[in-house]
Structure 1
Amino acid sequence: MTTAAAPAATSPEATARALPGAWTLGLARGVLELRQFFRQRDQVIFTFAFPVVFLALFASIFRDQVEGTDITASQLYAAGMVAAGVMSVSFQSLGISIAIERDEKVLRRLRGTPMPPAAYFLGKVWLVLVTGLAETALLLGVGTALFGLDLPGTTAKWLTFGWVFALGLTGCALLGIAISSLPRSGKSATSVVVLPFLVLQFVSGVYIPVGSLPDWLLNIGALFPLKWMCQGFRGVFLPESAAVLEQAGSWEYGRIALVLGAWCVGGLVLCLLTFTWKNRRDG
């Protein structure tokens, strides 16, 4: 009789190679995040409808032509609301959802699994990217169909839209992850996150045109990414004549890229310094 050979011991290196990497797990985590998001119908409706409802209200009430330009106030609101929609699905959504997951000890359990921490954040990136594109498409559809917003007619304008969207979404998502550590519980997350977001919308030219805001308020808004996203999207969707409405009298694309890029770097630093996998009261 022959004796079957014992299976060879698997080395740690071979085991590590057999396990899926962070990118693969991040994609799988992103699919899971999207499924969980779209299964919560009330959250889906609130997330996508909130910017659309406010766009419809402001753009319907204020429809007159803006003095000194050939655009209407409706077009001005539509361009700015696209930026607010991007920040809604990134900063607000992540700030609240991560705080709730931390309070419910979901993060603590995930940290105890073999899943690389990067996979969790990659999953959030996929969630924010897909919902951000969907929110933007919805707002552009409403803006072009009902309020006279013109889509970019040149490749250069679309490229500008692309980098403003990418930098703005990234910076706001990182800021949302950072602020998620601020609420003391999941119940207080909505209040803690929504209040600064609402204030920023008023001082960044979303609900009130920048020409109607005092300089000191505009200077406060200029410290955060929303103001620069609004300005960038206005430059993309409005004619060049509308640039006179900006604080500097021009679109300032270079400064927009600089500030949004700085928020991507600064937001990452804030995340590394503030993010925790468990509540402060858990020790």
Structure 2
Amino acid sequence: MSTTAAPTTPAAPAGTSSAAVRVGPARLGLRQGRLEIKQFLRSRESVVFTMAFPVIMILIFASIFTGEITDGVRFTQYFITGMIATGLMTVGFQSLAIQIPIERDRGVLKRLRGTPMPKWVYFAGKVIMVAVIGFAEMVLLLAVATLLFDLQLPDTAVKWFTLGWVSVLGITACTLCGIAFSSLARSGRGASAVATPVSLVLQFTSGVFFVFTALPGWMQQIAALFPLKWMCQGLRSVFLPESFGTQEPGGSFELGMVALVLGVWCVIGLVLCLTTFRWTTKRDG
């Protein structure tokens, strides 16, 4: 008795399914983003350093420095701007500059490169993770400063809009620079030692822990070359009265210059990402 074999469909590539093949680009990016967020939250070190550290610094500094730096402007009101900017830089620049070399060292990037998954999906996942964690951190910082230290939130739609575009441009520049900077570390172990000092130096010279105009002139000039100084300045225009703009080095908050510098750094970061990013370690070739 003869039998007729049932028609078969072409086999899907190893490690994939027919359902996975039909997933659109948007869903691929969102899935990778959810995966990156889960991995971030499962790492206690990342959560503590990235999200808890700025809150701890606010609690310490705001408890110590309770006076005013000028008429009507308390140090807490000034300090929160720097800590929001620092939080965005930490999650965008420092966390990626440390995470990516570790993944590269473990061979994760090399394996991803050999799968059918488009390369952009990996970066989309990182961007989504940075955006979600950065937003959550900003909300957390504002809540702590408002509830415990009477921070005055923006009182106009214009200021909320400024808070939005400064934060988006700033975290975009930091994210791109973090991805590009990740190629400097020779190994995953050395990533923290390479990225953390850069982050700390920028914080101390950009008006995060001290009033910016109180810093030496040469230090102000160097800080003005990098995004963090302009992120802090843009955020000061949101949380400080308009009259405080005269205390800035340029005599105003210079929001046009803030947008220009952060935009330029977005372009620089993108170019560096495209030209320097490595999927494998040097020993892998």
1:9–1:179: structure 2 CA closer, same or farther, 3 Å change rule?
Answer: closer
Q: Paired residue for 2:93?
A: 91
User: Which 10-residue stretch deviates more, 70-79 or 102-111?
Assistant: 70-79
Counterpart-to-counterpart distance in 1, 2:235 and 2:56 = 19
Alpha-carbon distance in structure 2 between the residues aligned to 1:41 and 1:273: 32
Correspondence for 1:146: 148
Please, which runs of 5 or more residues in structure 2 have no aligned partner?
A: 12-17
Q: CA deviation at 1:65?
A: 1.1
Per-residue CA deviation, residues 137-159 of structure 1 (Å, 9 max, x unaligned), is: 11111111222321111111111
Which segment drifts farther, 57-66 or 228-237? 57-66
Identify which of 30, 39, 43 aligns with 1:40.
Answer: 43
Q: Which residue of 2 aligns with 1:237?
A: 239
Deviation at 1:23, TM superposition (A): 2.6
Structure 1 contact 79–233 (Cα < 8 Å) conserved: yes
Task: Give distance in 1, aligned partners of 2:151 and 2:103.
Answer: 38
Q: Is the deviation greater in 256-265 or in 141-150?
A: 141-150
User: Which of 33, 49, 66 is the matching residue for 1:63?
Assistant: 66
Structure 1 ranges of 4+ moved more than 3 A: 1-10
Counterpart AA for 1:106: V
Report if aligned partners of 1:161, 1:233 keep a CA contact under 8 Å in 2. yes
Task: State the partner residue of 2:34.
Answer: 31
Report the residue type matching 2:162 in the other structure: T
Q: Per-residue deviation at 1:229?
A: 0.6
Matches within 5 A, 1:1-283: 6=7, 18-67=21-70, 69-283=71-285
SS in 2 for 1:66: strand
Q: Which letter maps to 2:239?
A: F
Q: Following the alignment from structure 1 to structure 2, what is the Cα–Cα distance between the partners of residues 9 and 115?
A: 19
1:265 shift after superposition: 0.9
- Could you tell me how far apart the structure 2 residues matched to 1:152 and 1:249 are? 21
Number of residue equivalences: 277
1:230 positional shift: 0.4
Once structures 1 and 2 are overlaid, which stretch shifts more, 34-43 or 105-114? 34-43
State the distance in 1 between where 2:141 and 2:7 align.
63
State the AA in 1 paired with 2:120: A
> Alignment identity in percent?
55
For 1:58, give the aligned amino acid: F
> Residue 2 of structure 1: CA displacement?
11
Deviation at 1:241, TM superposition (A): 1.9
Amino acid paired to 1:204? S
CA separation of 1:2 and 1:103: change in aligned 2, threshold 3 A: closer
Q: What RMSD over aligned residues (CA atoms) do the two structures have, in Å?
A: 1.9
Aligned AA for 2:57?
A: F
Question: Structure 1's 8 and 62: CA in aligned 2 closer, same or farther, altered over 3 A?
Answer: closer
1:196-240 CA distance string (max 9 Å, x none): 000000111001111211221111111111111101111111111
1:250 Cα deviation (Å)?
0.7
